[in-house]
């Protein structure tokens, strides 16, 4: 399906669904000592910021605060 969308809708940009991302948090981040606090912080950044610059700035602060810069799932690598 992804290939078909790429071929037929060449200007479309794929975005992940926030709801799907957020429901994966307990599984992906429960190994962190502060995982409940991390989940709350991530939820705030994802759901309460409206401009790209605002999101980018707050995401960077969030990742730095909890030492998540090397997390493969969060970085998309």
Residue 28 inside a domain? The answer is no
| Total domain count, the chain | 1
- Find the angle CA(59)-CA(36)-CA(27) to the nearest 5 degrees: 85
Residue 58 inside a domain? The answer is yes
Residue 45 inside a domain? The answer is yes
Residue 70 inside a domain? The answer is yes
On whether the pTM is more than 0.85, the answer is no
* pLDDT tens digits along 41-53: 989 998 887 788 9
* DSSP letter assigned to residue 33: T
Range of the domain at 51: 33-77
Residue 14 inside a domain? The answer is no
Residue 2 inside a domain? The answer is no
* pLDDT tens digits along 8-66: 888 877 777 888 888 888 888 888 888 889 999 989 998 887 788 998 899 999 999 99
From the CB of residue 36, how many other CB atoms can be counted at a distance below 10 Å? 13
* DSSP letter assigned to residue 32: S
The number of helices, as runs of H, and strands, as runs of E, in the chain is 6, 0
């Amino acid at each position: 399906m992804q290939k078909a969308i790429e071929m037929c809708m060449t200007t479309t940009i794929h975005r992940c669904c926030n709801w799907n991302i957020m429901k994966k948090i307990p599984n992906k981040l429960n190994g962190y000592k502060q995982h409940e606090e991390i989940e709350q912080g991530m939820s705030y950044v994802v759901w309460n910021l409206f401009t790209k610059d605002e999101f980018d700035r707050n995401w960077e602060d969030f990742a730095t605060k909890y030492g998540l810069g090397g997390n493969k799932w969060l970085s998309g690598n």
